[in-house]
Amino acid sequence: MGVLRDDFIWGAATAAHQIEGGNVGSDFWAVEYSPGGPFAEPSGDACDSYHRYPEDIRLLAEAGLKAYRFSIEWARIEPVQGVFSRAQLLHYRAMIDECHRRGVLPIITLHHFTSPQWFTEGGGFGRPDAAELFAVYVEYVSGILHDVEWIVTINEPNIAALFAAAFTRPAEVDAPISVQMALAGGPDPELAPRLIAMHHAARDVLRARTNAKVGWAIAAQAFMPTPGNEQKWQEVFDQWEGVFYDAADGDDFIGIQSYTSQPVDEHGPVPHPPHPDNTLTGWAYRPDALEINLRRVWELKGIPILVTENGIATDNDRRRIAYVTGAIEGMRAAVAAGVDVRGYCYWSLLDNYEWGSYGPTFGLIAVDREGDFARTPKPSLAWLGKVAMRGGEITG
């Protein structure tokens, strides 16, 4: 008898904008190609997964993974407000069918950071009709989701609210986006209720029109108070995470996305100091963050948890395996202690567009973006597939 459930879900995750390429109707595309914008490089053709998804799903399935978390791109489905593309809808339905054909469980995200440019131009998450407009899109998409079991409405609303805050600080445009986000002072508290309303509106539609388990996926930061700063920690936690977990009351699951841990001092989250062990995103190497987050969120909410993202940006695949080993061991310890974890998705299946740059490589599979987009699986793909096939046992 293993520690994890017999039906534990092992998968890998991606997001449309980061892998598809040519997401020309989205707000990020508009920012990426605006002169003097905040990004080091634009997304361009990304991994061309818009055309190459059958190969991506095949590689995932052949390695032994059983789930593919991917997102549907609102900007493609509704390129102009009120104008819906049936061809794009059928494209995503074909992806779901391809998953089923390969014995892979599709986990669908309906919003992963990008919105249509028309939505953002009109005020984005802050516009009074944001929830209504999102629900119209979700209703249209629900037509292809009848046999999908897991749906994430919005990916990391807390980071989406942070991106929005960062974009509105033009004085900082020369700083890398990660620095701008740190300077932005956390998720914009005024946007939190708007995002929550979007999530609840989408949940209502999905409950009425599908049989799926519905939840949203929160960026869990494993914040830790420095001595004497428990009060500040609580404020930071509530703003960055707590308000979003509370909005999951009534959901079927909470998605947890965990990468690192950050101390909180009297001023707030302490930026990761430079350290040789830091990852390619500049984050502290903290495989133990996942266990901290799982225990914390379970204690707080008692709602089943799906690890919708966990991973590391590194150019050393042995280090990736070491990081994931530590994270999975922590997850197993949390489950042994009673935390209800339903599955684990590694971020990311492919080396992809890391919101401003192709530098940080999170993938289990490398992509030749300068040539013919050839996929080269890294040893970590087969390794994770074996871990999945052994029900989470790690034997080297």
Contacting residues toward ligand BGC, per CB under 6 A: 15, 18, 155-156, 159, 219, 257, 281, 309, 347, 354
Q: How far is the CB of 176 from ligand BGC (least distance, A)?
A: 13
Q: How far is the CB of 257 from ligand BGC (least distance, A)?
A: 6
From edge to edge, which strands make up the β-sheet containing 262-265?
Answer: 223-225, 262-265, 268-269
Q: Which is nearer to ligand BGC, 120 or 352 (CB)?
A: 352
Q: How far is the CB of 313 from ligand BGC (least distance, A)?
A: 7
Q: How far is the CB of 353 from ligand BGC (least distance, A)?
A: 8
C-alpha to C-alpha distance for 289 and 311, rounded to whole angstroms: 11
Q: Which is nearer to ligand BGC, 120 or 229 (CB)?
A: 120
Q: Around 92, how many Cα atoms within 13 Å sit in the side-chain half-sphere?
A: 29
**Whether the bond into 348 is cis, omega within 30 of 0:** yes
Q: Which is nearer to ligand BGC, 245 or 347 (CB)?
A: 347
CB 187 within 8 A of CB 239: yes
Degrees, nearest 5: CA angle 79-83-89: 70
Q: Which is nearer to ligand BGC, 48 or 139 (CB)?
A: 48
Q: Which is nearer to ligand BGC, 20 or 354 (CB)?
A: 354
Helix (H, G, I), strand (E, B) or coil at 57: helix
DSSP state letter for 239: I
Q: Which is nearer to ligand BGC, 116 or 157 (CB)?
A: 157
C-alpha to C-alpha distance for 109 and 18, rounded to whole angstroms: 13
Spatial CB neighbours of 230, under 8 Å, sequence gap ≥ 6: none
Q: How far is the CB of 22 from ligand BGC (least distance, A)?
A: 18
Q: How far is the CB of 56 from ligand BGC (least distance, A)?
A: 16
Q: Which is nearer to ligand BGC, 157 or 268 (CB)?
A: 157
Buried b / exposed e along 77-115 (16+ C-beta atoms within 10 A): bbbeeeeeeeebbebbeebbebbeebebbbbbbbbbbbb
Q: From residue 107, how far is each of 328, 338, 365 by CA, in Å?
A: 20, 24, 19
Q: Which is nearer to ligand BGC, 18 or 261 (CB)?
A: 18
Q: How far is the CB of 283 from ligand BGC (least distance, A)?
A: 9
Q: How far is the CB of 281 from ligand BGC (least distance, A)?
A: 6
C-alpha to C-alpha distance for 390 and 396, rounded to whole angstroms: 12
C-alpha to C-alpha distance for 140 and 132, rounded to whole angstroms: 13
CB 81 within 8 A of CB 109: no
